Amino acid sequence: MILEIDPHSEEPIYLQLRQQIIIGIAKGEVKPNEQLPTVRQIADELGMNAMTVSKGYQQLKEEGYLITDRRKGTLVAPLPVEKKGEKAAALTLLLAELSLSGTSEAEIKQLIDEILTSFRKGREQ
């Protein structure tokens, strides 16, 4: 999985990291129980502060996407991930934003189908 961080984005770096790891898991780029690079390795590779990477990892752990093993380090949690919090609230907000941007219902459904298909393909490999 290749992480691409935009240091000029308004999105905090730790959230960019979080989002890319979640998408990588969904697409099968990283598999359940696969070991992730250490905080220090990612920070060095991307030229960022280790505390920023640690904050992203910590959030992913709290949400159930990652687990920590004393011997193996940080691992992708087994699937399915037990998502804590309101799934419907996050989806509602996203759909509201798309609707307000002028995206038609047909376009939204097509986007959803394309994205879900990419996730299924990644996990089948």
pLDDT at 119: 86
Among 83, 36, 87, 78, which Cα is nearest to 63's?
83
pLDDT tens digits for 7-58?
A: 899 999 999 999 999 999 999 999 999 999 999 999 999 899 999 999 999 9
Alpha carbon 90 to chain centroid distance?
14
pLDDT at 92: 84
- Strand 73-76 and strand 66-69: pairing? antiparallel
| Reported pTM | 0.76
* Token pair recorded at residue 17: 């990291």
In percent, the amount of the chain with pLDDT more than 70 equals 93
Among 48, 62, 49, 53, which Cα is nearest to 20's?
53
Domains and CATH numbers, the chain: 13-76 (1.10.10.10), 84-121 (no CATH)
pLDDT tens digits for 61-106?
A: 998 999 999 899 999 999 887 665 667 778 888 889 999 999 999 9
